[in-house]
Structure 1
Amino acid sequence: GTSYAKALTFNLDEYVGLKHTDEQSYYYFMHDNLFNGIDCPEENIHVPDGSTDDPEKAAADYEAELAKYNVDLQVLGIGSDGHIAFNEPGTPFDSVTHVTDLKEQTISDNARFFGGDKSKVPTKAITQGLASIMRARKIVLIATGANKADAVYGMIKGDVTTDCPASILQKHDDVTVVLDEAAAKRL
């Protein structure tokens, strides 16, 4: 019975080179798993356009649109190397939406979504930057699995460093972290 007719959504990222109709695109995933089942108007749904011939322009346009709004709630996961969105280790904390090269660890981790074939995983993505994410009023990060335990430890107990991009969340005023026992085993 809840209406989402007035909600605005901004996805964190999208692979470069995948069309909206590709089952591994985040546009497709979000529509298949959420948007097709709620009444959020298509014009209120924002996903970076990874299918464009000019991903740099698409990233700049996405950031310009995102910057018009105050994000109330940002939902994150964490990569096994401590990345959030596709902000790989080494991403500057002041980054805004940008095109990034995916690291080998991320490609290997995401191969499971591409039939286990690393060669099918896109090597670039458009992602909200760390500064873009940090503008959100509230952040909820969810992590499951033992393969995330080191990254979770670095995020919560480690130094704030671009070596673990998620560690920047220590500087945010309102973060809730939801973990299973395996992801929390180093805490």
Structure 2
Amino acid sequence: METYRDREKMGAAAAAAVAAALAERLHHQDHVRMVFAAAPSQSSMLEQLCAAEGVDWRRVSAFHMDEFIGLAPEAPQRFANWLDRHLFGKVPFKAVHKLAPEPDPEEEALRYARLLDEAPIDFVCLGIGVNGHIAFNDPPVADFDDPRDVKVIELDEICRRQQIDDQGFASMEEVPPSAITLTIPRLLRADRLFCIVPGAHKRDAVRGALRGPVTTACPASILRRHPDCTLFLDKEADPDA
């Protein structure tokens, strides 16, 4: 765990760590595959990662970890579109693989799982939700032994409320009730995880992830079982600060 004075310092440190890991991995292998979260919590890190020197993005393939079901393809709230604005459209990736739920979310979950399974995932950049979720694995649907790699889920009310608090939607009626998400076992199979969590509203979730029992009541608690996961916090999110 690393704690920084504010969101910008946290983002800079996380971006530097991700960039260094990418450069080191690309020194030893031809191609890196990584997964990115789409959320305001990631904005500072992504902005500074895009500006980092020494990363050959032409040898990096990108995935994202979850997507709403039921939004128009051009809707700005779609996570693929958010990542286009903050990352995918800013650096020259080798490939960008996007979740596209329509017309059949279950078939898309299978297609995306096959793409992910074509080769190992090197890195994941993720956050933690206010209810402790990672990706869209909210407590009611989180499964540490999930047999699937990608699945269709119903969103928890707390998670849907967070989408409003993050200013993505104006009301609960606008927030889609369902989504596609990478599952917890799929995320944990990546070699290295970078977890970026700013804000006082995340403090209780961070406390549960760090100190509570390892339980699906706080899905992020499973991150303690990963052999190489670094948690980047600002002071507001740190329960000890």
TM-score, normalization: structure 1? 0.92
Query: How many residues were matched structurally?
Result: 184
**What's 1:16 paired with?**
69
The 1-side partners of 2:219 and 2:118 are apart by 24
Given that 2:163 and 2:169 are in contact with CA atoms closer than 8 Å, whether structure 1 keeps it comes out as no
Q: Are 1:118 and 2:169 counterparts?
A: no
**What's 2:80 paired with?**
27
What is the percent sequence identity of the aligned residues? 34
The 1-side partners of 2:210 and 2:117 are apart by 27
**What's 1:107 paired with?**
160
- Counterpart pick for 1:94 among 128, 142, 145: 145
The 2-side partners of 1:38 and 1:75 are apart by 16
**What's 2:58 paired with?**
5
Given that 1:83 and 1:166 are in contact with CA atoms closer than 8 Å, whether structure 2 keeps it comes out as yes
**What's 2:43 paired with?**
none
Given that 1:76 and 1:84 are in contact with CA atoms closer than 8 Å, whether structure 2 keeps it comes out as yes
| Unmatched tracts of structure 2, length 5 or more | 1-52
Q: Are 1:55 and 2:105 counterparts?
A: yes
The 2-side partners of 1:115 and 1:165 are apart by 24
Q: Higher helix proportion, which one? A: 2
- Shifted more, 131-140 versus 89-98: the winner is 89-98
Q: Are 1:163 and 2:217 counterparts?
A: yes
Deviations 1:80-129 (A, max 9, x none): 11000000103111222101111110111101434431111111111000
**What's 1:68 paired with?**
118
Deviations 1:31-87 (A, max 9, x none): 11112121114xx1112112x121011111111110122111101111111000000
Moved over 2 A (4+): 112-116
| Unmatched tracts of structure 1, length 5 or more | none
Residue 170 of structure 1 deviates from its aligned partner by: 1.0
In the alignment, residue 128 of structure 1 is paired with which amino acid? L
TM-score, normalization: structure 2? 0.73
